[in-house]
Structure 1
Amino acid sequence: MRFVRGVAVPAAQSTSRNLCLALVALGAGVRLALALGTDTYFDEAYYWQWARNLAWGYYDHPPLIAWLIAAVDIRPAALLCGAGTVAAVWGLARDVHGSAEAAWRAAALWSVVPVAILAGVWATPDSPLLLFWTLALWALWRERWVLAGLASGLALLSKYPAVLLAVAFLATAVRLRRLPAGAWVTALLGVLLFLPVVLWNANREWVGFAFQLRHGLGGTGGLESFAEFLGGQLALGGPVLLPLAGVYALRGPREQFLLRAAAVLPLLFFGYAALRTRGEANWPAAAYVAACVGVAGMRPVWFRAAAFSGLAVVLAVGSHLLFPLLRFERDVPLARTHGWATLSTLAEPARLFPDAEAKEIAIVYAPSYQLASQAARHAGVFVDTAGGGRKSQYDLWPEPVVAPGQDALWYSEGPEPPEELVQRFTAVEGPVELPAEFRGRRVHTFLVWRLRGAR
């Protein structure tokens, strides 16, 4: 036996807690290192643009991530949400299993799930979704109906798929043939908090809801896109945690049906969506909250297998993003997380076009919302999209006014300025190459054109 703060604890139990504490600390260290060691991710720059134009809704998602960024900035928003989710997973697992040891196992496992690391570093709608999904699940488990309603409403303000938690609760009520009266309080509060988003959509021809339906269920899918989805889950959920989530959902304790449903429904829904369209691997991220809590109650060997396999993925990808040793022909993770600070040069066009007449640039155009947002973030310039790319919030905002005679820039990673944009100016110069490097390797080659004299 070992004694901890005067209480007799079995040696194996104490060792297990030490391992869990080490994993929690390691996960926190990885999140902090990635937050400090990478550039603003292009989706983060897009949400930062939202934060400069606060509203009750946006083309792509509900507004909570924008509000958080406006309050505390980009990376602090993700780090705070990530730390809060670890604490909430601990509390949920303690109440589910009635054991502090199981709570530490769940928190440790969540700390090294790859998708949890991503949401705890890069500020996306997943960051608050995972926090408030966990808090809502915890409150529902404890039948704290007011807290469940507030947390559910905030989850819906984070991301539309939060509605799947309500489906999991209803499935549980049907299974147990019991619907507590307090659940109506939860539903009412959740709906009231989400109502402004509904009204925002209603005043804009339901653009947010329509986009998500097209994005999630439209397009071209099939077995190939489903295989990509499955591979994404093995990477972002963890190669061991994913199958264990299935085992827990099918064979977990009957009294934990709510958690089992919360683990399997996002995977089933987005797995079905993958048969319809090519989606994103992070979409069912919330499933792994309940999966971690469920695995924490299994044999310790499964907890260790899930934790160390997830940690291996986190360390492999994290070390590559900070100290890349391997070279890939198309290194998407490295390109998305580095080299964007080079765009500050767009604020100084004389460095790019030294022979041109010195004139202030009115606006910078780009072919996508990601590139436009990065230019706004790093160069502090007015931006807009052009060229018929995927619609975004830029299509809802008023088009910036370019006065006659003013100059503009177009930048991309390949495409030339579209003809409809060129026709609005008297002359076009370029392209000028703007390279971006990270640790001695080229991660971007931006091409910049100068559009002279707006008509």
Structure 2
Amino acid sequence: MRQYSPSSWAAISICIAALAHFVLGFAIEFSVDEAHYALYAQHLAWSYFDHPPLVGWIQWPLVAITPSEGIIRLIPEFLWILSCYLVYQVTLEIHHLIQGRNAGYLTSTLPSQNTCGLMAVLAIVAAPIPHILAIGLLPDTLLAPLSLGLMLMALRWLSKDRFSTRDWIFTGILLGLSGLSKYTAAFSAFALLLVFLSSPRKAWINTAGFWLAAIIALLCISPVLYWNWVNDWISFKYQIAHGAGSTWLWRRLATYIGVQVLVYGSLLVLGAYLFIKYCVHGAKLSIWALLGFFAIPFSIFTTLAGGGGLPHWTSPAWFCLAPFAGIGLAKAWSTQHRRLIQILFVSQLTLCGFGIAYALSGGINSAMIKSNPIADLYGWKLAGQKAAELTQASKANGIAVQNWTLGSRAAWYAKPTPVFVLDQRQDQFDLWFGKLPQGANILLINWSGMPFPAPVGNKDSFERCEPLDSLEIRRFGQILSKFDFSVCSNWQGPELAR
């Protein structure tokens, strides 16, 4: 490794991981969320039922010219590379801050800032779940580099204790774009405010630049506010209910914490512990305030996890923790405590490699695994094309599925055929396609990975459903799943206006 500088090794590591993302991105079909957000780009709007609009807007140029999953996935790949670069830069700035003339609490000097930056990047490269965000565009993929950008601005504030007008404008833009990415961007805004409050001088609140930044951020998110206002604030109502989850249970909380450590890697946890042990004893309040970019969102999501939560919700927070972890790991490495770091790094990379190979293989079916979690990444393109052909041939009013998670792939791969979700739950499909009109005939898709009984025999059902065709999906000789297509006639359920 001495043949290259730490910054060169950081770039090499990022490029190797990006190559793996590139291969996988062209090999598999869209996941549930990817197809859903690609449909955002196909149906441009000021905002959407479940998320702000930036995740759709940013894809629109590529979605408009190509349906290729691999090409569209260049966007999350770029955002992941940008996040890794910002992790490196934030690490350098934190290193400079804690090694400054007012940081006399350090008992010994730190390794070089480039070494710390390399360790921070390696901790991210070895973390399993960020690779998923690098392949599939989610709102969290957008929020990670924006949160790191706000961290950089916070560090700039701490180093100068003042902002120029340009700094305030840039901060306002970052806050606005974060708000257009995901509602949880408010946590990063609170962390930035905490850094401002940690400064002895509070004159910033009386400056024109601060209020200019606030106005810019508000203007950026005004499309979201306007859309929700004319749609009875349905997005905010949904997110509040979604975040609260179901009945709060301690075992859910314990499981969530265990999953977090598994999918983000013990390296980040170990590095953060070492940073606190070596670098923040007796530190100024500003260092603790910077940790708020991780602590605020992570603590809130973890607390809510007792009622249910998804592991990728905390990904921007872990990206913001990586610079601190990199400094802690570099400090331990320089003092010859290398064995544990080596073991964790190799084991996490092995897990990442296994995950990529597992996805490319199509997964496995065995008695130990109730269902193949990779099966839904294959076959929806063929099924969607076949469904569109059968819909046209049977002169049906569109395609129907019985759960929204099945609707996003059906709508993407069978476009422009309308897709209806046969449930009473309000979602984005109701806004795009409305509810089925009474008496309608429809082509019903039933997927073996999430089977449902035929929707006949109750008040919200069809008069009859007749099997029409089926499609088996195979990969490397094994059957991954099966699609059944039926023609259902005379819908008797409630009709809602489009």
Structure 2 unaligned spans of 5+: 64-71, 97-112, 158-166, 493-498
In structure 1, the partner of 2:483 is 446
Runs of 4+ more than 6 Å apart: 400-404, 420-424
The question of whether the paired residues in 2 share the 8 Å contact of 1:238 and 1:309 is answered with: no
| 2:370 matches 1:330 | yes
Distance change >3 Å, CA 264–CA 431, structure 1 → 2: farther
2:194 is aligned with 1:156: no
Q: Which residue of 1 aligns with 2:297?
A: 266
> Structure 1 residues 112, 390: CA separation in 2 closer, same or farther (over 3 Å shift)?
farther
Report the secondary structure of 1:286's partner residue.
helix
Separation (CA, whole Å) in 2 of partners of 1:393 and 1:15: 49
Q: What residue is the counterpart of 1:388 in the other structure?
A: 423
**Counterparts of 2:453 and 2:357, CA distance in 1:** 35
Instruction: Give the whole-Å Cα distance in 1 for the aligned partners of 2:418 and 2:129.
Output: 31
Change in CA separation of 1:288 and 1:224 when aligned onto 2, cut-off 3 Å? same
Question: Do 1:201 and 1:207's aligned partners in 2 also have CA atoms closer than 8 Å?
Answer: yes
Query: How far apart are the structure 1 equivalents of 2:241 and 2:259?
Result: 21
1:210 equivalent to 2:234? Answer no
Distance in 2 between the 1:337 and 1:447 partners? Answer: 17
Aligned to 1:221: 248
SS of the equivalent of 2:58 reads: helix
What is the Cα-based RMSD across aligned positions, in Å?
3.0
Indicate how the Cα distance of structure 1 residues 358 and 285 shifts in structure 2: closer, same or farther if over 3 A, else same.
Answer: closer
- Does residue 379 (structure 1) correspond to residue 411 (structure 2)? The answer is no
Structure 2 match to 1:28? 18
Rate the CA distance shift 1:106–1:197 in 2: closer, same or farther, 3 A.
Answer: same
The residue type paired with residue 188 of structure 2 is: L
Counterpart amino acid of residue 375 in structure 2: A
Contact in 2 for aligned 1:114/1:237 (Cα 8 Å)? yes
CA pair 401-229 structure 1, distance change in 2 beyond 3 A: closer
TM-superposed CA distance for 1:286, in Å, is 1.0
Instruction: Provide the secondary structure at the position in 2 that maps to 1:40.
Output: coil
Q: Distance in 2 between matches of 1:227 and 1:72?
A: 41
Aligned to 1:70: 60
Of 55, 65, 69, which residue of structure 1 is paired with 2:45?
55
| Deviation at residue 94 of structure 1 after TM alignment | 2.4
1:395 aligned partner, one-letter code: D
* 8 A Cα contact 1:387 1:417, kept in partner: no
2:119 partner SS:
helix
Quickly say closer, same or farther: Cα 1:363–1:447, change in 2 above 3 A.
same
Kindly provide the CA deviation profile for residues 367-401 of structure 1, in whole angstroms up to 9, marking residues without a partner as x. 12221221122222423333326432112335267
Is 1:319 aligned to 2:373, yes or no?
no
Q: What do residues 67-98 of structure 1 show as CA deviations (whole Å, max 9, x unaligned)?
A: 11212233122122222222222222222224
Change (3 A) 1:19 1:398: closer
Deviation at 1:324, TM superposition (A): 5.5
Aligned CA distance change for structure 1 residues 176 and 248 (closer, same or farther; 3 Å)? farther
Distance in 2, Cα, partners of 1:216 & 1:66? 22
Contact 1:129–1:155 (CA<8 Å) still a contact in 2?
yes
Taking the aligned partners of 1:150 and 1:110, their CA distance within structure 2 comes to: 26
Report the Cα distance in structure 2 between the residues aligned to 1:66 and 1:209, rounded to whole angstroms: 18
Once the two structures are TM-superposed, the CA of residue 316 in structure 1 deviates from its matched residue by 1.8
Q: How does 1:48-127 map to 2 (within 5 A)?
A: 48-73=38-63, 74-98=72-96, 99-127=113-141
Residue 66 to residue 417, structure 1, CA distance change in 2 (3 Å) = farther
Q: Is the 8 A contact 2:32 2:405 kept in 1?
A: yes
SS of equivalent to 1:385: strand
- Aligned positions, number: 437
Conservation of the 8 A alpha-carbon contact between 2:399 and 2:444: yes
Report the identity percentage.
22
Match of 2:446 among 390, 412, 415: 412
User: Which letter maps to 1:145?
Assistant: W
- For 1:358 and 1:336, locate their aligned partners in 2 and report how far apart those are by CA, in whole Å: 26
Q: Say whether the 8 Å CA contact 1:45–1:374 is kept in structure 2.
A: yes
Structure 1 unaligned segments of length 5 or more: list them. 1-10, 351-356
